[in-house]
Structure 1
Amino acid sequence: MSTPTRTTNRPQRGQGQWALGYREPLNPNERMKKDSDGLDVRQRILDIYAHTGFDGIDPGDLRGRMRWMGLYTQRAQGIPGGRTAVLEPEELEDSYFMMRVRTDGGQLSSEQLRVLGRISTEFGRDVADVTDRQNVQYHWIRIEDVPQIWEQLAAVGLQTTEACGDTPRGMLNCPLAGVLADEVLDASDVMAETVARYVGDPAFSNLPRKWKTSMSGCVDHCTEPEIDDISFVGVRNADGEAGYDLWVGGGLSTNPMFAKRIGVFVRPEQVTDVWVAATSIFRDYGYRRSRTHARIKFLMADWGPEKFRQVLQDEYLHAELPDGPAAAPAVHDQRDHVGVSKQKDGANAVGFALRTGRITGSLLTRIADLAAEYGTQGGRIRTTTQQKLVILDVPDERVEDLVEALAQHDLLVRPSAFRRGTMACTGLEFCKLAIVETKQHAQDLYAELEKRLPDFDEPIGINVNGCPNSCARFQTADIGFKGMIVRNAEGESVEGFQVHLGGHLGVDAALGRKLRGHKITKDETADYCERVLRGYLDRRTEGESFAAYVGRAEDDWLL
């Protein structure tokens, strides 16, 4: 693409926007990136750090540039959540890493999944997480083992490049792209083209902050485009032509905002160029003064979609995009593709729930074997944005055998509403930002609710988050728990949660309702959920969702 024209060459302090001429770093993170591109750390890992070990890693690489290669130091064991904001990074971190593998679009072969499982077992103490960004994460990774892990990943076409950092993160697509007959269109090819051309490109390796992309033609909007930085949402124009509705500026964390429609129709052959142009706007006009203000959602809030479209077309594309219609609302409320879905070729996609995304490498290997055994195309597996997995291409006569084989490993195709709807972030066990433990607690919570409310018959999302950063999207859950330290009845400081209720995406999307800062202790979560859900069952109108009920509920119904 041609070099964009600039509005001015006069340096302005402002928010440190490159396009306004101000290039001098305004905080330590920006200085770190200017001193050395994050992509350069790869060679230092191979040539130096894999040989010197953890203690030989430069601090700027350790706590900064390593992220460009999908590596974060993990939390040292035994440090309570109340110490998270008190200790320095070097006091919180262990000498091991979390490693994130890119699985763009969630598309995996049985061979790839088998390698992912083997790496977890051999190098990560048999622990792995399937994330709500369709990635696979490891823990307990030693820097000495990283080169060998990279070799094994590369051998099956996988990588960790820019899985973290101020970069284009792993891109989301419907896990059933190209499979379901009712999709608007299949975004797999345009996503693959974008990833191949621009992941690892120094032109986009220094963005103001992370950059989350989704491209999907799913009628259920399963990639949750409302909360991505940039989304291409499948739509048909007035002539019946399939393309994309462009949304920009979504994101949660401590300042949640929903994406805004830019109002254009993007044809499939234009997607990569439009993505490049929008990403360039973020790079050049994004705010770099404060890390907490550096996401595209803040620029979009100030500019609005009209100005964004003007800059996109005039300065970067040098062409106009046609007006486009809004994408149709999601067809189904649940977006996880759990259960048995009929493929357009007559086979079946079998989606199943893990234990809040936590799994072992050994079990990933077993799933790869099952996919190869039951799938007619050699074993195709997909990850979802709800911490679930899907096996494709299963013939009708083999579906129930696969359902039973998965159940033997507590992988449920027909889970309870609570098992299906509960998600959790990494939490205190490994995350340096976390305040409370999440993974095991969320599993204990859904198991307890299954006992107390065995006949509960409505979809219900319960998202357990270890801190305010919303990796598990607590603001958009039916019941969202934000981890914090609270006082119990005895006045002691203990792990607990702030409660958010009735969050939802789709039509009339809304963030969860907070009730006068209502907080509960960790030990109270099952009692609280039971109380609120029984109230819902008693008072709901016919067909009323939990989110709709919360919207009209009196405060004391929800306490």
Structure 2
Amino acid sequence: MYRYDQYDHLIVRERIAQYRDQVQRRLNDELTEEEFLPLRLQNGLYMQRHAYMLRIAVPYGLLSTAQMRTFAHIARTYDRDYGHFTTRQNIQFNWIELERTPDILSDLAAVEMHAIQTSGNCIRNITTDEYAGVAADEIIDPRPYAEILRQWSTFHPEFIALPRKFKIAVNGAVEDRAAIAMHDIGLTAVRGADGEVGFKFMVGGGLGRTPILGSVINDFVPWQDLLTYTEAVMRVYNQFGRRDNKYKARIKILVKAVGAEEFARMVEAEFADLKGGPETLTREEVERVAVWFNPKPYATLAAIDPRAGHADDKAFANWLMRNVKPHKVPGYAAVVLSLKKTGVPPGDATSAQMDFVADLADRYSFGELRVTHEQNLVLADVEQSKLYELWTQAKAQGLATPNIGLLTDIIACPGGDYCALANAKSIPIAAAIAKRFDDLDYQHDIGEIELNISGCINACGHHHVGHIGVLGVDKDGSEWYQVSLGGAQGNQAAIGKIIGPSFSAPQMPEVVQRLLDVYVRERVEGERFVDVAQRLGIAPFKEHVYATPIVAQETAGEDHHA
């Protein structure tokens, strides 16, 4: 993985010193909260309902074990002994004291991390596929290009005060596992007729109150022009994006207003002045960065059946089926550690679990791990012969729930338990649904289904692209939940459609049950829930859900971390 050079170290140290002085001035009332607000946001610090929240950048979701252990240290020392992994592949700590934040940033710098680009109207943390470098369908490893974009965008003087936040995702494989369609810029690696690598540029995606899938503005940009073409997009947005209304300030609104064809023309006009300029990538520069992502020292192994010797262990078989993914090197596998055990808020991990996962990564996966945008963790390079041994250890720590891609693998933001922007709580809804369907045999029969929950229209839980999406809404001061169907991420990305009036929190588990009833009744062999929802539309689901009054079920209480 990438290691800081002298420039990275210098920039981060100087930023911490600057921020430490800003915090002290705020504590001394030399800065008002209004004056301090943009300064703390530049360092990933938010004010939430109960305390400050610090969001730490995990570039393209890749972590060393030293970095994970530092997260555990922060959880124990500065927080309430846990952290929350987010849909941006970052981590958040929800109970931070302002006066201690400079020390946290200093601790992070010691392991080459920071909280820059996790807030504010800048280019945010670059994300990518959690299986980058090991996926069999990969065209290129996207991580070197994600790192190049990170280095280019951090402190870029022209793009530190954009009309609104800006998110970039890079996909290097045939299958899109980076959800590029819902990003401001989504990049997909492609090969030209001569075999050279380039990128398809998709621009103008985003969720929030106006969910829009991105539009392709260029089918092939040579790799040498990655930064210059991205800069052309950013210049158009910076010049013409709205600043008079933050709800209409994202690039998706600009692209929709002028049309994708006209936007592409505007980008090409800017690109004409940038093409061949000093930001044009050279092979030497790409190789300088790519060397940090060279393949691991894999052993020469034969592929094996991990079930050999454990044929009667159904629990292990279920885990292999759901949590173990193919690897391009024979004899290896990628393992997903589920952070979705029933009774635990999705994406949360305790300090003990973080330390434990770091130990697993050192023991089984070359000292590295990944964060997924589905809020789980990945050990990407595990020998197949060691899967049973790893599983028994992970299970003892509550990290081996065999539910990846199933109903209880719920994606959820922290919601109203923490976030001051939320209209409603997310965590108790996720807990109630997980409890209602905590039957793995039933979940396996239902098959793959993505259930996403957001506590407000900002859509941090990506509810728009959930097969079932749940949005918290305010109704006369009470918390209610709007349900949508048919959303999807990946190569067949789609925005879900709202089925009708919202529901109370206690009704939500039964709402999900009724949706599943229609699916079971209407599916044909091999059809997933989302396939049926898109084939039939919302009408039969709506009819069944609203046919008779829903008997409320008591939802879970307050978040167990509060």
Q: What is the TM-score of this pair, normalised by structure 1?
A: 0.80
2:387 is aligned with 1:393 = no
Question: For the residues of structure 1 that align with 2:188 and 2:405, how far apart are their CA atoms?
Answer: 28
Q: How is 1:198-217 mapped onto 2 (pairs within 5 angstroms)?
A: 198-217=153-172
Q: Is the 8 A contact 1:479 1:499 kept in 2?
A: yes
The residue type equivalent to 1:122 in the other structure is T
Alpha-carbon offset, residue 67 of structure 1:
1.2
Q: How is 1:226-245 mapped onto 2 (pairs within 5 angstroms)?
A: 226-245=181-200
Q: Greater CA deviation, 240-249 or 61-70?
A: 61-70
Q: Is the 8 A contact 1:243 1:267 kept in 2?
A: yes
Question: For the residues of structure 2 that align with 1:261 and 1:204, how far apart are their CA atoms?
Answer: 22
Task: Report Cα offsets for 1:220-254 as digits up to 9, x if no partner.
Answer: 21110110000111222333333211100000101
SS in 1 for 2:498: coil
Shift in alpha-carbon separation, 1:396–1:499, aligned structure 2, 3 A? same
Residue in structure 2 matched with residue 450 of structure 1 by the alignment: 438
Residue in structure 2 matched with residue 16 of structure 1 by the alignment: none
Q: Is the 8 A contact 1:486 1:519 kept in 2?
A: no
RMSD value over aligned CA atoms?
2.5
Residue in structure 2 matched with residue 465 of structure 1 by the alignment: 454
1:171 to 96, 101, 126: 126
Residue in structure 1 matched with residue 257 of structure 2 by the alignment: 302
Q: Is the 8 A contact 1:463 1:477 kept in 2?
A: yes
Residue in structure 1 matched with residue 337 of structure 2 by the alignment: 352
Residue in structure 1 matched with residue 280 of structure 2 by the alignment: none
2:362 to 359, 372, 381: 372
Question: For the residues of structure 1 that align with 2:400 and 2:466, how far apart are their CA atoms?
Answer: 21
Q: Is the 8 A contact 2:407 2:451 kept in 1?
A: no
Residue in structure 1 matched with residue 284 of structure 2 by the alignment: none
Alpha-carbon offset, residue 338 of structure 1:
4.4
Alpha-carbon offset, residue 191 of structure 1:
1.5
The residue type equivalent to 1:476 in the other structure is V
2:38 is aligned with 1:64 = yes
SS in 2 for 1:318: helix
Alpha-carbon offset, residue 512 of structure 1:
1.4
Task: Report Cα offsets for 1:8-56 as digits up to 9, x if no partner.
Answer: xxxxxxxxxxxxxxxxxxxxxxxxxxxxxxx999655311424763966
2:94 to 139, 143, 148: 139
Q: How is 1:83-94 mapped onto 2 (pairs within 5 angstroms)?
A: none
Q: Is the 8 A contact 1:41 1:61 kept in 2?
A: no
Q: What is the TM-score of this pair, normalised by structure 2?
A: 0.80
Residue in structure 2 matched with residue 532 of structure 1 by the alignment: 515
The residue type equivalent to 1:439 in the other structure is I
Q: How is 1:86-105 mapped onto 2 (pairs within 5 angstroms)?
A: 96-105=51-60
Q: Is the 8 A contact 1:254 1:468 kept in 2?
A: yes
Q: Greater CA deviation, 434-443 or 411-420?
A: 411-420
Shift in alpha-carbon separation, 1:52–1:253, aligned structure 2, 3 A? closer
SS in 1 for 2:123: coil
SS in 1 for 2:205: coil
2:101 is aligned with 1:116 = no
Residue in structure 2 matched with residue 15 of structure 1 by the alignment: none
Q: Is the 8 A contact 2:26 2:32 kept in 1?
A: no
Q: Is the 8 A contact 1:427 1:466 kept in 2?
A: yes
1:404 to 392, 400, 405: 392
Question: For the residues of structure 1 that align with 2:102 and 2:374, how far apart are their CA atoms?
Answer: 30
Residue in structure 2 matched with residue 9 of structure 1 by the alignment: none
1:270 to 211, 225, 232: 225
Question: For the residues of structure 1 that align with 2:439 and 2:339, how far apart are their CA atoms?
Answer: 19
Question: For the residues of structure 2 that align with 1:422 and 1:525, how far apart are their CA atoms?
Answer: 14
Shift in alpha-carbon separation, 1:541–1:486, aligned structure 2, 3 A? farther
Alpha-carbon offset, residue 62 of structure 1:
4.0
Task: Report Cα offsets for 1:248-288 as digits up to 9, x if no partner.
Answer: 00001011111000123122232122222222222122111
SS in 2 for 1:349: strand
2:402 is aligned with 1:414 = yes
2:11 is aligned with 1:73 = no
Question: For the residues of structure 1 that align with 2:111 and 2:19, how far apart are their CA atoms?
Answer: 21
Q: Is the 8 A contact 1:71 1:99 kept in 2?
A: yes
The residue type equivalent to 2:104 in the other structure is I
Question: For the residues of structure 2 that align with 1:41 and 1:72, how far apart are their CA atoms?
Answer: 17
Task: Report Cα offsets for 1:201-229 as digits up to 9, x if no partner.
Answer: 33211000000001120332111011000
2:467 is aligned with 1:478 = yes
Question: For the residues of structure 2 that align with 1:342 and 1:415, how far apart are their CA atoms?
Answer: 20
Shift in alpha-carbon separation, 1:424–1:169, aligned structure 2, 3 A? same
Shift in alpha-carbon separation, 1:244–1:120, aligned structure 2, 3 A? same
Alpha-carbon offset, residue 397 of structure 1:
1.4
Shift in alpha-carbon separation, 1:40–1:257, aligned structure 2, 3 A? farther
Question: For the residues of structure 1 that align with 2:444 and 2:526, how far apart are their CA atoms?
Answer: 16
Question: For the residues of structure 2 that align with 1:524 and 1:54, how far apart are their CA atoms?
Answer: 49
Q: Is the 8 A contact 2:84 2:348 kept in 1?
A: yes
Shift in alpha-carbon separation, 1:65–1:234, aligned structure 2, 3 A? same
Alpha-carbon offset, residue 98 of structure 1:
0.8
Shift in alpha-carbon separation, 1:455–1:506, aligned structure 2, 3 A? closer
Alpha-carbon offset, residue 539 of structure 1:
1.6
Task: Report Cα offsets for 1:483-508 as digits up to 9, x if no partner.
Answer: 12458xxxxx6432011112123455
Aligned residues: 479
Question: For the residues of structure 2 that align with 1:244 and 1:363, how far apart are their CA atoms?
Answer: 38
Shift in alpha-carbon separation, 1:265–1:413, aligned structure 2, 3 A? farther
Task: Report Cα offsets for 1:397-449 as digits up to 9, x if no partner.
Answer: 11121122112122126226545531110111110011222124313312321
Question: For the residues of structure 1 that align with 2:377 and 2:339, how far apart are their CA atoms?
Answer: 8
Residue in structure 2 matched with residue 436 of structure 1 by the alignment: 424
